[in-house]
């Protein structure tokens, strides 16, 4: 018999608690799955998706000189792996727009007198315009251009032209960092926080608010009254939209007055689009609340959504630095598009037409999430 | 009795969950001003049946009316005129008593809401505690708050699902006095309970097991549904006596009540034979009226046989 005095620590009692915890862990399938799923996801995201040396950045070429030297230069840029030459344009306005919308990361301008100046040994200037909203995305590529400048024409400059090689770099790359000329990381991070904070609180809070109502049994009571299910849902969401706007405003105030983030675009437009984003996240929260049986599960599911939203959206790491599959997942997340909208409006001064390509994915996400959420929500009633 | 006097009038109501008939074609008619008791073991389908009456669930089969509204199609109208008190306290623990009542009054769009909430607080004697959070109330007070909230929109039918579970005897008695008062004023009450003394305070009763209604009627009618004979026996060595009696032909139940055994069976003659065989003069045997509990346990045993 193990008749120990109650005061002493007992291995039996300790073991009883440990055993019970394991049984309960096993019972809560969702929590159990999350305990395995979240580390796996972190492994995949941190291990494979994240790359702080983004390559193959979409680049537009505006070449006024199509001569052999210019072609060699273009080929060298492509071979560096940092630049993916996706567009060619003759119009300066179009090039600017590509940068503004975010279709390209760089514009490379080869001037008309490129070959002529080169041959005269006058060190022609090649202007590289960069979308520097995210300094981490452009930095490595810009560094790479220095090496290119020195060696690119080595093979072309032979014979009598070899004298040009002796000079310290036959080409002069001028970098023009648009939107964030001083490469201030905060300009990129602080507006991005708006999307991250909204994702976190909106999803968690709605998932919890509805799950709590069910867990405590108050939902049954509520549904026995004449209140309609949709009234319950919308009524629960509206207060959190207000909360979302308060959070957004706090971040914007801090961005302006603490971090000095430039705000070039229209704030009303930003507030308007934020509604879409907030609604999209609330819809996700509702869907989670219909899947979760208790509040812990609801929080875990929200975390499961939050993790890729922060890592794959371009908030923490350059979006274009990720492998294609990760970019695809990122493209499906509302935060990815919202980040581009916020940065676009604040830093680039984008208007409705420039952010339109990011609005429709938000709308689509909202429609899908709402449909699933409402459908699932109805099923839980009967 | 005219049809309009029937507050609840349903036939063949059935609900199936995962292929299992949780409620199996139940007929029920309840008159205005009646207190109708629903009894039966846990999981017998009482709560599911009530949920169908108040419009929370749609019956899979069967039809009928509640307050004159169709239980399948007019659930919204039913909800507006029914007060439903769930088994578990289901008001907001982080809201005060007044805030809870005010919330429910708003949901039902009660006219002159402030006065209605005041009246409700007064009737419950909760005026002084109206600012207290509902979560801090004791079981008895929570139950009173729940009742007050159910009544705030002056419903015509009250559906109470085990309202007195975990409530002390004094509070229970007061609760029942209130229910009788409400019924006298014309409110109809359908109430589920596990307490036999409460069952006896109902005008009429129904007994459910395994989703089926096994007996119904007034107390006397239910008692006579099963022609049960019961003897009490007191004396020494009741434990050995109980063991000897159990399993003998005619003996259905042997239950210890303090210093006594209740021995019952449906066949009076067979039961007496069984008793005669063990009677040796050292015990005192008395024939008594069978209690509701004995009858119910007997009904349940019979139902299980049917079910298997």
A94-153 tens-digit pLDDT? 888 898 888 999 999 988 888 888 888 788 888 999 998 888 888 888 888 887 877 777
The domain boundary residue, chosen from B186, B218, B250: B218
Encode A220-270 in three state secondary structure.
Answer: HHHHCCCCCHHHHHHHHHHHHHHHHHHHHHHHHHHHHHCCCCCCCCCHHHH
The domain boundary residue, chosen from A178, A209, A244: A178
The SS3 call for residue B167 is coil
Is the domain of B198 the same as that of B51?
Answer: yes
B86 touching chain A per CB within 8 A: yes
Is the domain of B257 the same as that of B122?
Answer: no
Is A216 domain-assigned? yes
Instruction: Mark yes or no for CB contact A224/B104 under 8 Å.
Output: no
**Is the pLDDT at B308 greater than 50, yes or no?**
no
By C-alpha distance, the chain B residue nearest A379 is: B57
pLDDT in tens, B90-143: 999 999 999 999 999 999 999 999 999 999 999 888 888 889 999 999 888 899
For chain B, the domain total comes to 2
Is A25 domain-assigned? no
pLDDT in tens, B227-272: 899 999 998 888 989 999 988 888 988 989 888 999 999 889 999 9
Contact B236, B282 (CB under 8 A): yes
What are the backbone angles phi and psi of residue A111, rounded to the nearest 5°?
-70, 160
B143 touching chain A per CB within 8 A: no
B91 touching chain A per CB within 8 A: yes
Is the domain of B163 the same as that of B282?
Answer: no
Counting residues of chain A whose pLDDT is more than 70, the rounded percentage is: 94
Instruction: Mark yes or no for CB contact A221/B84 under 8 Å.
Output: yes
Give me the domain span that covers residue A246. Answer: 185-379
The pLDDT value recorded for residue A333 is 95
Is the domain of A147 the same as that of A266?
Answer: no
The SS3 call for residue B133 is strand
Is the domain of A198 the same as that of A163?
Answer: no
Contact B57, B72 (CB under 8 A): no
Is the domain of A269 the same as that of A366?
Answer: yes
Is the domain of A340 the same as that of A247?
Answer: yes
Is B306 domain-assigned? no
Is the domain of B201 the same as that of B238?
Answer: no
Is B301 domain-assigned? no
What ranges in chain A are assigned the alpha helix state H? 11-27, 29-44, 68-79, 92-101, 114-119, 135-151, 162-166, 185-215, 218-223, 229-257, 267-291, 295-311, 324-332, 334-343, 352-379
The domain boundary residue, chosen from A152, A178, A204: A178
pLDDT in tens, A238-257: 899 999 999 999 999 999 99
C-alpha to C-alpha distance for B300 and B209, rounded to whole angstroms: 6
Interface predicted TM-score (ipTM) of this complex, two decimals:
0.79
By C-alpha distance, the chain A residue nearest B57 is: A382
pLDDT in tens, B275-298: 888 888 888 999 998 888 888 888
Is A343 domain-assigned? yes
Give me the domain span that covers residue B14. Answer: 3-218
Q: What is the pTM of this model?
A: 0.80
Instruction: Mark yes or no for CB contact A225/B79 under 8 Å.
Output: yes
For chain A, the domain total comes to 2
Instruction: Mark yes or no for CB contact A218/B84 under 8 Å.
Output: no
Is the domain of B234 the same as that of B210?
Answer: no
C-alpha to C-alpha distance for A323 and A53, rounded to whole angstroms: 12
Is the domain of B89 the same as that of B146?
Answer: yes
Instruction: Mark yes or no for CB contact B57/A217 under 8 Å.
Output: no
Is the domain of B70 the same as that of B27?
Answer: yes
C-alpha to C-alpha distance for B229 and B291, rounded to whole angstroms: 10
B207 touching chain A per CB within 8 A: no
Is the domain of A191 the same as that of A267?
Answer: yes
Is B26 domain-assigned? yes
C-alpha to C-alpha distance for B95 and B101, rounded to whole angstroms: 10
Is A46 domain-assigned? no
Is the domain of B179 the same as that of B241?
Answer: no
Tokens of B239: 């434990």
The domain boundary residue, chosen from A124, A152, A178: A178
Instruction: Mark yes or no for CB contact A217/B90 under 8 Å.
Output: yes
What ranges in chain B are assigned the alpha helix state H? 46-53, 75-81, 97-107, 113-124, 139-151, 169-184, 196-199, 219-225, 238-245, 268-278, 292-307
Least CB–CB distance from B76: residue in A216, A217, A226: A226
Is the domain of B172 the same as that of B275?
Answer: no
Is the domain of B16 the same as that of B129?
Answer: yes
With an 8 Å Cβ cutoff, the interface of chain A facing chain B consists of 216-218, 220-227, 382
CATH number for the domain including B276?
3.30.70.330
Is A40 domain-assigned? no
CATH number for the domain including A138?
3.40.1710.10
CATH number for the domain including B122?
3.40.50.300
Q: Which of residues 106-135 of B touch A (CB under 8 A)?
A: 107-108
B56 touching chain A per CB within 8 A: yes
**Is the pLDDT at B305 greater than 60, yes or no?**
no
Is the domain of A205 the same as that of A337?
Answer: yes
C-alpha to C-alpha distance for A361 and A113, rounded to whole angstroms: 43
Q: How many CA atoms lie within 13 A of A164 on its CB side?
A: 26
Is the domain of A218 the same as that of A162?
Answer: no
Is B304 domain-assigned? no
Angstroms from B272 CA to nearest CA on chain A = 49
Q: How far is CA B132 from CA A337, B85, B164, in A?
A: 47, 21, 22
Is the domain of A220 the same as that of A342?
Answer: yes
C-alpha to C-alpha distance for B132 and B130, rounded to whole angstroms: 6
Q: How many CA atoms lie within 13 A of A145 on its CB side?
A: 20
C-alpha to C-alpha distance for A344 and A97, rounded to whole angstroms: 12
Is the domain of A165 the same as that of A195?
Answer: no
Is the domain of A204 the same as that of A320?
Answer: yes
Contact A351, A367 (CB under 8 A): no
Is the domain of B179 the same as that of B265?
Answer: no
Angstroms from B109 CA to nearest CA on chain A = 10
Is the domain of B245 the same as that of B149?
Answer: no
Is the domain of A125 the same as that of A171?
Answer: yes
């Amino acid at each position: 018999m193990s008749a120990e005095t109650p005061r002493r620590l007992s291995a039996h009692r300790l073991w009883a608690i440990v055993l019970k915890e394991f049984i309960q862990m096993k019972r809560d399938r969702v929590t159990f799955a999350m305990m395995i799923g979240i580390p796996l996801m972190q492994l995949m995201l941190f291990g494979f998706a994240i790359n702080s040396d983004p390559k193959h950045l979409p680049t537009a070429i505006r070449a006024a000189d199509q001569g052999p030297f210019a072609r060699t230069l273009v080929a060298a840029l492509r071979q560096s792996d940092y630049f993916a030459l996706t567009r060619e344009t003759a119009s300066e306005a179009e090039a600017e727009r590509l940068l503004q919308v975010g279709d390209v990361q760089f514009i490379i301008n080869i001037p008309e007198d490129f070959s002529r100046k080169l041959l005269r040994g006058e060190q022609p200037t090649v202007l590289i315009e960069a979308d520097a909203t995210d300094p981490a995305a452009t930095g490595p590529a810009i560094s790479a251009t220095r090496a290119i400048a020195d060696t690119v024409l080595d093979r072309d400059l032979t014979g009598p032209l070899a004298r040009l090689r002796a000079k310290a770099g036959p080409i002069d790359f001028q970098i023009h960092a648009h939107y964030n000329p001083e490469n201030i990381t905060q300009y990129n991070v602080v507006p991005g926080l708006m999307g991250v904070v909204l994702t976190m609180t909106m999803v968690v809070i709605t998932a919890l608010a509805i799950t709590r109502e069910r867990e405590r049994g108050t939902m049954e009571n509520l549904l026995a009254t004449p209140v309609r299910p949709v009234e319950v849902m919308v009524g629960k969401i509206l207060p959190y939209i207000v909360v979302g706007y308060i959070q957004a405003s706090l971040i914007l105030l801090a961005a302006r007055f603490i971090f000095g983030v430039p705000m070039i675009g229209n704030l009303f437009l930003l507030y308007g689009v934020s509604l879409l984003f907030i609604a999209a996240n609330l819809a996700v929260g509702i869907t989670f609340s219909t899947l979760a049986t208790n509040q812990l599960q609801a929080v875990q599911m929200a975390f499961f959504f939050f993790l890729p939203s922060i890592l794959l959206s371009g908030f923490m790491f350059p979006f274009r630095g990720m492998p294609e599959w990760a970019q695809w997942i990122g493209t499906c997340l509302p935060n990815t598009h919202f980040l581009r909208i916020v940065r676009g409006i604040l830093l680039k001064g984008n208007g409705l037409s420039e952010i339109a390509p990011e609005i429709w994915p938000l709308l689509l996400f909202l429609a899908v999430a709402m449909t699933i959420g409402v459908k699932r929500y109805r099923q839980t009633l009967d | 009795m005219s049809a309009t006097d029937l507050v609840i009038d349903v036939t063949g109501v059935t609900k199936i969950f995962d292929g299992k008939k949780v409620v199996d074609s139940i007929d029920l008619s309840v008159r205005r001003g009646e207190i109708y008791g629903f009894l039966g073991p846990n999981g017998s389908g009482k709560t599911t049946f009530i949920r169908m009456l108040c419009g929370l669930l749609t019956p899979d089969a069967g039809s009928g009316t509640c307050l004159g509204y169709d239980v399948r199609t007019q659930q919204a109208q039913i909800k507006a005129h029914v007060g439903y008190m769930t088994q578990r306290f289901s008001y907001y623990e982080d809201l005060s008593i007044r805030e809870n009542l005010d919330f429910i009054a708003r949901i039902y769009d009660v006219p002159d809401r402030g006065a209605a909430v005041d009246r409700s607080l007064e009737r419950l004697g909760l005026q002084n505690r109206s600012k207290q959070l509902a979560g801090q109330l004791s079981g008895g007070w929570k139950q009173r708050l729940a009742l007050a909230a159910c009544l705030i929109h002056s419903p015509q039918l009250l559906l109470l699902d085990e309202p007195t579970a975990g409530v002390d005897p004094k509070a229970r008695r007061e609760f029942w006095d209130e229910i009788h008062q409400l019924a006298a004023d014309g409110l109809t009450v359908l109430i589920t309970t596990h307490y036999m003394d409460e069952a006896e305070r109902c005008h009429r009763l129904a007994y459910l097991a395994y989703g089926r209604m096994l007996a119904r009627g007034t107390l006397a009618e239910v008692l006579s549904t099963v022609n049960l004979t019961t003897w009490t026996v007191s004396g020494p060595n009741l434990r050995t006596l109980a063991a000897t009696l159990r399993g003998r032909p005619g003996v259905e139940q042997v239950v210890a009540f303090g210093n006594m055994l209740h021995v019952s069976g449906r066949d009076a003659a067979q039961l007496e034979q069984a008793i005669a065989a063990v009677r040796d003069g050292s015990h005192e045997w008395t024939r008594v009226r069978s209690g509701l509990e004995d009858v119910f346990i007997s009904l349940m045993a019979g139902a299980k046989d049917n079910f298997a």
